[in-house]
Structures are given as structure tokens and as C-alpha cells.
């Protein structure tokens, strides 16, 4: 495949890098084979980083911070501008690799690379406005001000479902803030990390930096544990399951480090009597089936009013019949495979639980024997709102249908009763319902949308959620502050030494 060569992917690839000419090689390292989820066949191999490799990379990153933090932020922004342009040149190739290794269709793969480009553009502008406040002092001839200083090396741990975008969300902001990054990618998508590191290396070399963009590909118990326990890393950004996020939070906070946790989602769409059903159906279809249901923002639940349920379900079931399943790199395919066999087994186990509970499978529910890949049928289940399985996140294309009558006491209450709080949506033309949904008594999620779905967030708004979603925020708004340390300065330009609060100490 030509795009693999374009991205610098070899048959055997090193798994640790600290920048230009910084790939660490060696035959004694354990191998990780990356599989194509559409066929189950090998793509290429990684020589995984060991503890010595981690230490070598971390030492380079720590040393780089000493000088990188002194570089003016707009100059750091120039490098991120060039990173965005380099990604533009590799958009098609990198998008194809995301599809090949992770399984999302090519349009989504290229869309993920576009997110990387967009956040680079955002960060370039941000590099000229890392602003603080000036504060009026109570003491004569004193000035107070607030500054934001570079924080240090930022650890980034990413999941398989967005194997390149999440790195960029963190890295672009961290870099303009003056922080090197050390990245541990998912072992289900290691080649994507190699490709991104190659692109970043070219950009860093042009600007004369080493140790700013760093990668360690390896087992969680080897490099992952070292990373989260490393006191040289003041901030860890983790994307993954809630259970693992709780562990990361405990370990990092125990050493008084900071975290950005992007964890599970159990996202719902409320469909009201006044909803535009055509829009609602299209939105739910993409939200539930896109990325084969493997987005943290995937639509898991539809809470539909009984008066429109029959019509809505007729349209939705018909839409599901139109979903083409197969090789994500082929034209006309709308849904690719799950990322691995474990994902297939998790989905089938969830469906067995649903059947025992009395859930009615309206469509789907089976595996698909196709080309040796990890294919499943997108599934719709009629369920009850309070079932434990409905409150859990199954990372697969299972959609639960819940029927309500009362908006506040049922639809909103059921929407908020799950432990996760990432993304939410309502379809309504009733202004009272819409305003209530985004009010303090409405959706308890970090993202709440009116007349569009749960998936497809833009980088201009902060991304993240509440409750078991972790509370972290990435990307837009003022999320850059997480990558910096806050400092208050007071300057005395008088010839006196007054104390605050009018305190008198001695003569």
C-alpha cells in the first residue's frame, strides 16, 4: 500500500522516539503486531519500548523543557502552524491508515485528520493570547497581575478509537503553552502513532527542536505505569475506559499531579413530539453506527415520545437497512469492523444479557462472517430505562429505545440517571423544551445539543464531560489553562512596605 510508504511505515518499526533522528532500535524488544480489523491479518510490527527506552525518551523531554519553555509563545505557534500544514499534505494517507488500522470508514479517517489540522490552526492563534489579568491592589503603588507559565512535560495516553486526533488536541495546545509531550498510544493502533511521530519529526527538525514531540509504544504495565507514576510529568491526559481512568486518577493525584480524564459516555437523544423526525433519524443513525459505535460520543440511547415512536422507528429501521458493512477503505461502505475480537465478544455478551432481561432485538444482533474481519450487525433493542445493562457503556453499535410520556419526570430524568455525562441531544421545535434541556435542570452532560446529534463535536468548544466521564476538557475555550501553571505577581514600586489587610508588624 503506497500510503504506508508515504507515512514511513516499515515492516518492522521501532516503538520509541524523542524527535528527529531519535528512533530507538534494538532486536531484544518484544514485538507487537498490528492487525487489520477488516481481515484479521497483520499490517506491520512494532518493537515495543521497554523501561530503558522510556527513561531515555523521558530524559530528552525533560531536558527539552528547560529551553522550550523560554521560547516565545508565538514562535512556538509557528512550529504548530507548520505541523498543521504537514498534516494537510498527509491528510489522505494518514486518513487511510486510520481506516486500515482502526476500522472506521475513510471519510471518518480523513475527518479525524482534519480535526488535527483544525486544532493546530486554533493553537496558532492561541499562541498570541495566553493572557493573564491585571488586578487592582489594596496597597498604594503596587500592581498585581496574573501570569500563566509553561507547566512541564505532558503525558498523553490515547485510545484506539481516535488514534491520531486526541494526540493533536493535547499536543497542539501543550506545545504553544511551552510543554513537551510524551505519548503512549493504544496498542490497537500503534502504526498511526509511528506515522504521526514521523510527521512531527520533520516539523521539529525544521525548527531545530528535539525532545518536544515524543512517543513510547508499549505495554501498559511497562511504559504506561512508568508514565502515570513519573513525578517529572505534572499533567497526564488520559482517554479510555472509566475503570482505567479511575486508576490513572488515583495514581497521578496520589503524587499530587494533575489529570485530564476523558472517559466513558452513555449518550442519549431525546425525540419529542415536535421533532423533525427526518433530522432525528439521520442524526441517530450516524451517532449509533458511525465508527461502528466505538466513539465516546456514540448515541447509545434514544428516549422517544410515545406519540411519534411508531413513525420514528419505522424510519429508523428502514435507515438501518441501508447501512453497508465491509472494508472501510472501499467506497460506499458506511460501517467497518470493530477494532478487535474482544470488542465482538463484549457486544455479544451484552446482547445475551439483554435477552435474559427480556429486551426485544428489533434489528441486528449477530456477527458477520466476512473476510476474517471483526464485523457485527448494528443492533437496535427495545429496553427499559432502569436496566443495569442500559446504564453501562458497551463500546459497540447497540442502540437502546426507551419510550416516554412526561418530558421532565421521565425523559430528562432517564437521560440523567446514568453514571456517565459526556454528550447529549434533543430534537424539538418547542422552545420551552429546548431551553430547559440546556438549563441547570436539564442535561447534566458536558455537551448538550439542540436539533443535532451526540457525535461530531467541533474543536472550537471545550470537549469533555461530567460524572464518570471524568470532568476533563480538551480542545477549545480556555482548556489551554490546564497545560500551564497559574502565577500571581505583585510589584511594589513605592519606597514603603505596607502589608495587606492593613496589618501592622513592628514599628
- Catalytic positions are 262, 296
Burial group, residue 125, by CB count within 10 angstroms (0-12, 13-18, 19+):
exposed
d(CA 32, CA 219): 9
Q: Do residues 103 and 339 make contact, with C-beta atoms less than 8 angstroms apart?
A: yes
d(CA 455, CA 443): 16
Q: What cell numbers appear for 341 in the block?
A: 475480537
d(CA 180, CA 209): 10
d(CA 66, CA 207): 16
- Helices 165-176, 106-126: axis angle to 10 degrees equals 10
Count of Cβ atoms closer than 10 Å to residue 232 Cβ: 15
For the chain, the maximum distance between any two Cα atoms, rounded to a whole number of angstroms, is 88
CA nearest to 170, candidates 492, 482, 441: 482
d(CA 201, CA 213): 7
Tell me which DSSP letter residue 502 carries. Answer: G
The residues pairing with 449 across neighbouring beta strands, listed in sequence order, are: 425
Tell me which DSSP letter residue 325 carries. Answer: B
- Helices 91-102, 190-207: axis angle to 10 degrees equals 150
Q: Phi/psi at 363 (nearest 5 deg)?
A: -160, 150
Tell me which DSSP letter residue 498 carries. Answer: P
DSSP strand E in 18-141: where? 23-24, 31-36, 41-47, 134-136
Q: How far is CA 219 from CA 51, 184, 186, in A?
A: 10, 9, 9
d(CA 352, CA 371): 25
d(CA 240, CA 152): 23
Pairing of strands 154-157, 474-475: unpaired
Provide CB contacts within 8 A for 279, sequence distance 6+: 427, 451, 452
CA nearest to 37, candidates 165, 182, 192: 192
Chain centre distance of CA 318? 31
Amino acid at each position: 500500500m503506497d500510503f504506508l510508504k508515504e507515512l514511513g511505515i516499515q515492516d518492522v518499526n521501532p516503538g520509541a522516539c524523542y524527535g528527529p533522528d531519535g528512533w530507538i532500535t534494538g532486536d531484544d524488544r518484544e514485538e507487537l503486531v498490528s492487525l487489520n480489523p477488516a481481515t484479521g491479518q497483520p499490517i506491520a510490527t512494532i518493537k515495543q519500548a521497554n523501561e530503558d527506552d522510556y527513561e531515555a525518551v523521558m530524559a530528552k523531554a525533560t531536558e527539552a523543557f528547560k529551553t522550550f519553555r523560554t521560547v516565545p509563545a508565538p514562535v512556538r505557534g509557528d512550529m504548530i502552524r507548520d505541523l498543521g500544514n504537514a498534516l494537510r499534505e498527509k491528510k489522505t494517507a494518514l486518513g487511510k491508515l486510520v481506516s486500515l488500522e482502526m476500522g472506521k470508514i475513510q471519510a471518518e479517517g480523513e475527518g479525524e485528520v482534519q480535526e488535527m489540522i483544525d486544532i493546530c490552526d486554533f493553537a496558532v492563534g492561541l499562541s498570541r493570547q495566553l493572557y493573564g489579568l491585571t488586578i487592582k491592589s489594596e496597597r498604594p503603588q503596587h500592581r498585581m497581575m496574573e501570569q500563566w507559565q509553561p507547566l512541564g512535560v505532558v503525558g498523553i495516553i490515547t485510545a484506539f478509537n481516535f488514534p491520531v486526533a486526541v494526540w493533536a488536541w493535547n499536543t497542539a495546545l501543550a506545545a504553544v503553552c511551552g510543554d513537551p509531550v510524551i505519548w503512549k498510544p493504544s496498542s490497537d493502533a500503534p502504526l498511526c502513532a509511528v506515522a504521526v511521530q514521523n510527521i512531527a519529526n520533520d516539523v521539529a527538525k525544521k525548527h531545530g527542536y528535539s525532545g518536544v514531540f515524543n512517543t513510547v509504544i508499549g505495554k501498559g504495565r511497562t511504559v504506561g505505569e512508568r508514565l502515570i507514576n513519573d513525578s517529572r510529568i505534572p499533567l497526564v491526559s488520559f482517554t479510555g475506559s472509566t475503570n482505567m481512568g479511575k486508576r490513572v486518577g488515583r495514581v497521578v493525584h496520589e503524587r499530587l499531579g494533575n489529570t485530564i480524564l476523558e472517559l466513558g459516555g452513555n449518550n442519549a437523544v431525546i425525540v419529542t413530539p415536535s421533532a423533525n423526525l427526518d433530522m432525528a433519524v439521520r442524526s441517530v443513525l450516524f451517532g449509533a453506527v458511525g465508527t461502528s459505535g466505538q466513539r465516546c460520543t456514540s448515541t447509545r440511547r434514544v428516549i422517544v415520545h410515545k406519540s411519534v415512536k411508531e413513525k420514528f422507528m419505522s424510519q429508523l429501521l428502514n435507515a438501518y437497512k441501508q447501512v453497508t458493512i465491509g472494508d472501510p477503505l472501499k467506497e460506499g461502505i458506511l460501517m467497518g469492523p470493530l477494532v478487535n475480537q474482544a470488542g465482538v465478544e463484549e457486544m455479544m455478551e451484552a446482547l445475551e444479557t439483554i435477552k435474559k432481561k427480556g429486551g426485544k432485538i428489533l434489528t441486528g444482533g449477530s456477527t458477520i462472517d466476512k473476510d476474517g474481519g471483526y464485523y457485527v450487525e448494528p443492533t437496535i433493542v427495545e429496553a427499559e430505562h432502569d436496566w443495569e445493562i442500559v446504564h453501562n457503556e458497551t463500546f459497540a453499535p447497540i442502540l437502546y429505545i426507551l419510550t416516554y410520556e412526561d418530558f421532565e419526570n421521565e425523559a430528562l430524568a432517564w437521560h440523567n440517571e446514568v453514571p456517565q455525562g459526556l454528550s447529549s441531544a434533543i430534537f424539538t421545535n418547542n422552545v420551552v423544551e429546548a431551553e430547559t434541556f440546556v438549563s441547570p435542570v436539564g442535561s447534566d452532560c458536558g455537551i448538550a445539543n439542540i436539533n443535532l446529534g451526540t457525535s461530531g463535536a467541533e474543536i472550537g468548544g471545550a470537549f469533555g464531560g461530567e460524572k464518570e466521564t471524568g470532568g476533563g476538557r480538551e480542545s477549545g475555550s480556555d482548556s489551554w489553562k490546564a497545560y500551564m501553571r497559574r502565577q500571581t505577581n505583585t510589584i511594589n514600586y513605592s519606597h514603603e512596605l505596607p502589608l495587606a489587610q492593613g496589618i501592622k508588624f513592628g514599628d
